[in-house]
Amino acid sequence: MPEALLWAAAILLAVAAGWTWNGWRHRVANRRSGNRPGTT
For the stretch 2-40, what's the b/e string if a residue is b when 16 or more beta carbons lie within 10 angstroms of its beta carbon? Answer: eeeeeeeeeeeeeeeeeeeeeeeeeeeeeeeeeeeeeee
- Which pLDDT belongs to residue 38? 59
Mean pLDDT by 10 residues, the chain (40 residues): 95 97 88 65
Contact 16, 10 (CB under 8 A): no
- Which pLDDT belongs to residue 39? 56
Our CA dihedral for 5, 6, 10, 15, rounded to 10 degrees, sits at 0
pTM of the model: 0.55
- Which pLDDT belongs to residue 32? 75
